[in-house]
């Protein structure tokens, strides 16, 4: 079967309709197929040479000392908190406008989430001023999330953290190769975590990476990802020893070589993929520039970024109006999403006090428009026109 005939369904939910313009499409071709077949035929399909190569290539691309491949980003975040010995009673400052995994991971070690608001409707990353007010003598870490691949305002965040000796963990799931002041995201704090879930910039189905310049953290993460054992079976198979010790209670959080082979192909494609996204973003920006009832976040951002998603925020709006506009786009065959329903509003997080007016507004008024490297300029124009029509209709029906 030719690759183009295979229909790949992204995500957990099964789409009940075929969208004319999907939110995302995989940047896959025969190269990924060949890489997987080659790995299957090599007969080493668990953590092995492909994983080692993927780690080395990823570390080099980022300018990081260590990159450790893992089963997904959620476990990368878990190991980040775990290796910092964060415990019950400790506080971790985190965003609420993020995917649930960012916050769940700190709960795995029993820490208390302290939710920080975003800066504004045009900067959907953590507000350094609010962050400063949340620091207490229990604060052990700050986990930042680079929304859409646009960097958090890292200078003041690192400054606050540095003065109080607080560790900074970057959830860089959206930002492989994104830059902040010339540095790659994920290499600014102590630990950076990446996701290779299907709909991310690098897709391996499931997959993640932890990067750090700290030798001790890297060694501990390598051991913890494989039950706390001192060697991997691949290393034992190459060497003379069959012996290993178990140093501490670990996990099975490994990536396998089938996924690493996919990751290598995807990483090689990343730079051109991101260039295509940047020019599509540009097309969106000029198409949307005359609409004054929306905000396009990060409108004036100039540095090279991954453009993982293309968010807009409705001005002077409400959740009902937002959902009506999403429905109008859906009827035109355009798939949209929401990034994100705020974490502090979910049932299990309601016990934590949080006053986050901007996060709550964005959660109810943001719409993520389609963006993927193979999207065409005509498709962008169709989305822009459909949005203009939907907004005009909403304006008329409210006046």
From CA 71, how far away is CA 75, in angstroms rounded?
7
In the complex with ligand PLP, which residue's Cβ is closer, 263 or 390?
263
In the complex with ligand PLP, which residue's Cβ is closer, 145 or 152?
145
Question: Would you tell me how many other CB atoms lie within 10 Å of the CB of residue 33?
Answer: 15
If one asks whether residue 72 binds ligand PLP (CB under 6 A), the answer comes out as yes
The stretch near ligand PLP (CB under 6 A) out of 70-78, 133-141, 220-228, 389-397 is: 70-78
CB of 301 to ligand PLP, least distance (A): 18
Pairing of strands 91-95, 112-116: parallel
In the complex with ligand PLP, which residue's Cβ is closer, 247 or 348?
348
The stretch near ligand PLP (CB under 6 A) out of 7-15, 50-58, 67-75, 261-269 is: 67-75
If one asks whether residue 173 binds ligand PLP (CB under 6 A), the answer comes out as yes
From CA 175, how far away is CA 305, in angstroms rounded?
7
CB of 177 to ligand PLP, least distance (A): 16
Exactly one of 145, 166, 177, 232 binds ligand PLP (CB under 6 A); that residue is 145
SS3 358: helix
If one asks whether residue 256 binds ligand PLP (CB under 6 A), the answer comes out as no
In the complex with ligand PLP, which residue's Cβ is closer, 317 or 342?
342
Exactly one of 74, 119, 266, 317 binds ligand PLP (CB under 6 A); that residue is 74
CB 133 within 8 A of CB 159: no
> Which segments within the chain are labelled E, that is strand?
66-70, 91-95, 112-116, 118-120, 123-126, 139-145, 167-171, 179-180, 183-184, 191-195, 208-212, 294-295, 310-314, 366-369
If one asks whether residue 391 binds ligand PLP (CB under 6 A), the answer comes out as no
Backbone angles phi, psi at 145, to 5 degrees: -130, 120
Rg of the Cα atoms in the chain: 22
In the complex with ligand PLP, which residue's Cβ is closer, 73 or 210?
73
CB of 316 to ligand PLP, least distance (A): 28
From CA 275, how far away is CA 295, in angstroms rounded?
23
Question: Would you tell me how many other CB atoms lie within 10 Å of the CB of residue 97?
Answer: 27
Active-site amino acid positions: 200
Considering only residues 202 through 221, tell me which ones interact with ligand PLP, judged by CB under 6 A: 208
Exactly one of 39, 51, 83, 102 binds ligand PLP (CB under 6 A); that residue is 102
H-helix or E-strand containing 265? helix 257-288
Residues that bind ligand PLP (CB under 6 A): 72-74, 98-99, 101-102, 145, 171, 173-174, 195, 197, 208
């Amino acid at each position: 079967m030719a690759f183009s005939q295979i229909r790949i369904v992204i995500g957990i939910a099964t789409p009940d309709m075929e969208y004319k313009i999907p939110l995302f499409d995989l940047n896959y071709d025969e190269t990924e197929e060949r890489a997987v077949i080659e790995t299957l035929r090599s007969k080493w399909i668990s953590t092995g040479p492909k994983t080692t190569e993927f780690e080395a290539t990823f570390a080099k691309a980022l300018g990081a000392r260590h990159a450790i491949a893992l089963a997904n980003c959620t476990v990368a975040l878990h190991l980040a908190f775990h290796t910092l010995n964060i415990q019950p009673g400790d506080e971790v400052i985190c965003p609420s406008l993020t995917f649930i995994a960012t916050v769940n991971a700190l709960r795995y070690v029993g820490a208390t989430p302290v939710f920080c608001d975003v800066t504004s409707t045009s900067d959907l990353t953590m507000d350094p001023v609010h962050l400063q007010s949340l620091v207490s003598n229990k604060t052990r870490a700050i986990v930042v999330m680079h929304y859409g691949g646009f960097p958090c305002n890292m200078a003041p965040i690192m400054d606050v953290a540095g003065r109080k000796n607080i560790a900074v963990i970057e959830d860089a799931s959206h930002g492989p190769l994104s830059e902040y002041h010339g540095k790659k995201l994920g290499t600014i704090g102590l630990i950076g975590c990446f996701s290779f879930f299907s709909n991310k910039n690098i897709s391996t189905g499931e997959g993640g990476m932890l990067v750090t310049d700290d030798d001790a953290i890297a060694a501990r993460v390598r051991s913890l990802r494989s039950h706390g054992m001192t060697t991997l079976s691949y290393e034992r198979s190459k060497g003379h020893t069959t012996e290993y010790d178990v140093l501490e209670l670990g996990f099975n959080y490994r990536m396998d070589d089938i996924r690493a082979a996919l990751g290598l192909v995807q990483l090689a494609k990343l730079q051109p993929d991101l260039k295509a996204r940047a020019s599509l973003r540009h097309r969106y920006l000029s198409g949307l520039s005359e609409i004054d009832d929306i905000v396009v976040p990060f409108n004036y951002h100039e540095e090279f970024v991954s453009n993982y998603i293309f968010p807009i925020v409705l001005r002077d709006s409400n959740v009902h109006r937002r959902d009506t506009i999403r429905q109008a786009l859906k009827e035109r065959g355009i798939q949209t999403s929401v990034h994100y329903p705020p974490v502090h509003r979910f049932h299990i997080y309601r016990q934590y006090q949080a006053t986050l007016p901007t996060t709550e507004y964005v959660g109810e008024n943001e719409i993520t428009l389609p963006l993927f490297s193979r999207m065409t300029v005509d498709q962008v124009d169709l989305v822009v026109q459909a949005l203009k029509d939907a907004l005009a209709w909403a304006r008329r029906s409210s006046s």
